[in-house]
A and B are shown apart, each in its own frame.
Chain A
């Protein structure tokens, strides 16, 4: 281009600052990036977060353990059901509580359904950022069916408070299991439609393939976890590598993609949905009868001490550090949230991208602002 456009033409570009967000349709929440642009090319990017900082770690010090459980769903609100799992695991370690077998299965079933729903939102919103609205309605419809299932077990569509210290809240409602089978079938069919519609689409591929490549080493250096890490060719997944609950009894493959570009980060989630559907089916087959909750005192006072538990949430490692001082309230609660670390890579990878590729890049990282800011 520079061959025939000279400076004298007055078409030379200039550096300028572009504020992307916090109110912007394609930042998926109140994320803000301060970009220095040259024409359409990003020169440098800076993360500005905290617009949703709700001060939850402090609030936790003023309420009881049981009262805090529903708060945990309010962070990664796209995958609400999975969040309390880490919290409950930490509490169960703190109090040496053994969760009944049936409850573990129910946790896996609900957790994996929630993971599917969360990944569906990601797939829908990345194509929405390309202004493709039709695929979005496909996946949101599929997600609706799963929301209905989650609502049937927990009473809430979005922020599923199903996990409690020592087990789960309620047993399955009648006739739920056949509904799951049906919903999974129709979801997978819709997903195949979506896959055919989007994954080969030339515009989509052109704007994601080879864009913002994160190598495996870089991903480890930057502390990226979850599907975004598995898109860089690693098969790191706590469900497999440090199995909690009953994941060691399920037969599943950790999905990964080799290239580490935006496309792979998108596609690995699509693959994970299929894998999660398999896991739900297996768990439903193996589901034993029995109790759904261990005996936990109403006014629960764990012994003084400290526990840390980590799970593979929808976006990566979700960890809780709980420090108890022997009273009914936690002394200190610390959350390790996956999105917060995952966005650390943005300033490193943004330079050189065009603005629209930058949008695709941040969409492919699949962060949730509640999870970043807490």
Chain B
């Protein structure tokens, strides 16, 4: 069955022009099914920057077992991922690279800011070389505060992304950053 005019069945977020065939409710319904599925298999890109990355690794290890929820497929390549967990301090030197990696991720994509540093600069907010929060560079969907947040907090954050997907709150981005 042809779902959209892209022809491959995955309506891309941000392209809000549904085909003439499927409009309104049908389109919405299919998208919500897809979002439901996406929410159960978010693939994060490995993007460890600092201390918080160690807790991110721990979340994937046996005790916390992120794979219970289907989120354990950490992808080294941004092109295969749909969730970016920014775990750590973003510096001025790193910022352009972070933006590049974000741009390389295919839509739909979500960003989770983990730890005080990624949320607002954290303990290093006053420094001459630290970006005051990753949301000044890329749009952020979920903030997980803490220094570092516990693995449970990270898992909760990812579950929030899932919940938002299910509630269809992450509809469209007003801009394509």
Q: Which residues of A does B touch, CB under 8 Å? A: 22-25, 29-30, 50-56, 58-59, 62, 70-71, 74, 77-78, 80, 121, 136-137, 140-141, 144, 147, 157-159, 369-370
State the CA gap A369–B127 with chains docked (Å).
18
Q: Does B127 contact A59, Cβ atoms closer than 8 Å?
A: yes
**Residue B128 lies at the interface, judged by CB distance under 8 Å to chain A:** yes
In the complex, what's the smallest C-beta–C-beta distance from B85 to chain A, in angstroms? 12
In the complex, what's the smallest C-beta–C-beta distance from B91 to chain A, in angstroms? 6
Q: Does A144 contact B63, Cβ atoms closer than 8 Å?
A: yes
Given that A23-B101, A71-B123 are known contacts, is A370 also in contact with B50, CB under 8 Å in the complex?
yes
Given that A141-B61, A158-B148 are known contacts, is A56 also in contact with B94, CB under 8 Å in the complex?
no
Q: Does B126 contact A62, Cβ atoms closer than 8 Å?
A: yes
Q: Does A55 contact B129, Cβ atoms closer than 8 Å?
A: yes
Categorize the interface residue count of chain B: 20 to 34
Q: Does B124 contact A369, Cβ atoms closer than 8 Å?
A: no
CB-CB under 8 A from B54, the residues of chain A are 77-78, 121, 158
In chain B, residues 133-177, which have Cβ atoms closer than 8 Å to a Cβ of chain A? 147-148, 150
CB-CB under 8 A from A54, the residues of chain B are 89, 91, 124, 127, 129-130
Q: Does A55 contact B130, Cβ atoms closer than 8 Å?
A: yes
Q: Does A140 contact B61, Cβ atoms closer than 8 Å?
A: yes
Given that A30-B49, A77-B54, A158-B55 are known contacts, is A24 also in contact with B76, CB under 8 Å in the complex?
yes
Within 8 Å by CB of B128, from A50, A58, A121, lies A58
CB-CB under 8 A from A144, the residues of chain B are 58, 61, 63
**Residue B88 lies at the interface, judged by CB distance under 8 Å to chain A:** yes
Q: Does A59 contact B63, Cβ atoms closer than 8 Å?
A: no
**Residue B18 lies at the interface, judged by CB distance under 8 Å to chain A:** no
Known: A23-B101, A24-B76. 8 other contacts (CB 8 A): A25-B46, A54-B129, A59-B124, A74-B51, A141-B62, A141-B63, A370-B50, A370-B51
State the CA gap A74–B63 with chains docked (Å).
24
Q: Does A369 contact B129, Cβ atoms closer than 8 Å?
A: no
CB-CB under 8 A from A25, the residues of chain B are 46, 74, 76
Q: Does B88 contact A52, Cβ atoms closer than 8 Å?
A: yes
Interchain Cβ contacts under 8 Å between A and B, 19 examples: A23-B78, A23-B101, A29-B48, A52-B89, A54-B89, A54-B124, A54-B127, A58-B127, A59-B124, A59-B126, A78-B54, A136-B61, A140-B63, A147-B58, A158-B51, A158-B55, A158-B148, A369-B50, A370-B51
State the CA gap A22–B96 with chains docked (Å).
12
State the CA gap A73–B124 with chains docked (Å).
13
Q: Does A137 contact B94, Cβ atoms closer than 8 Å?
A: no
Q: Does A23 contact B130, Cβ atoms closer than 8 Å?
A: no
Instruction: Across the A-B interface, give the 5 residue pairs with the lowest CB-CB distance, nearest first.
Output: A77-B51, A140-B61, A55-B127, A25-B76, A137-B62
State the CA gap A53–B91 with chains docked (Å).
7
A-B contact count (CB 8 A): 90
**Residue B53 lies at the interface, judged by CB distance under 8 Å to chain A:** yes
In the complex, what's the smallest C-beta–C-beta distance from B67 to chain A, in angstroms? 11
CB-CB under 8 A from A159, the residues of chain B are 51, 147-148
Q: Which among A22, A54, A77 has the greatest number of chain B C-beta atoms within 10 A?
A: A54
Q: Does B123 contact A140, Cβ atoms closer than 8 Å?
A: no
CB-CB under 8 A from B25, the residues of chain A are none
In chain B, residues 96-141, which have Cβ atoms closer than 8 Å to a Cβ of chain A? 97, 101, 123-124, 126-130
> Which of chain B's residues has its CB closest to A58's CB?
B128
State the CA gap A24–B97 with chains docked (Å).
12
In chain B, residues 34-53, which have Cβ atoms closer than 8 Å to a Cβ of chain A? 46-51, 53
State the CA gap A137–B123 with chains docked (Å).
31
**Residue B93 lies at the interface, judged by CB distance under 8 Å to chain A:** yes
CB-CB under 8 A from B147, the residues of chain A are 159
CB-CB under 8 A from A52, the residues of chain B are 49-50, 88-89, 91, 94
Within 8 Å by CB of A55, from B128, B148, B150, lies B128
CB-CB under 8 A from A24, the residues of chain B are 76
State the CA gap A24–B54 with chains docked (Å).
15
Q: Does A74 contact B123, Cβ atoms closer than 8 Å?
A: yes
CB-CB under 8 A from B88, the residues of chain A are 52
CB-CB under 8 A from A140, the residues of chain B are 57-58, 61-63
Given that A23-B101, A25-B76, A140-B58 are known contacts, is A53 also in contact with B129, CB under 8 Å in the complex?
yes
> Which of chain B's residues has its CB closest to A67's CB?
B123
State the CA gap A59–B88 with chains docked (Å).
18
Given that A54-B127, A55-B129, A137-B62 are known contacts, is A29 also in contact with B91, CB under 8 Å in the complex?
no
State the CA gap A25–B47 with chains docked (Å).
8
CB-CB under 8 A from B53, the residues of chain A are 29
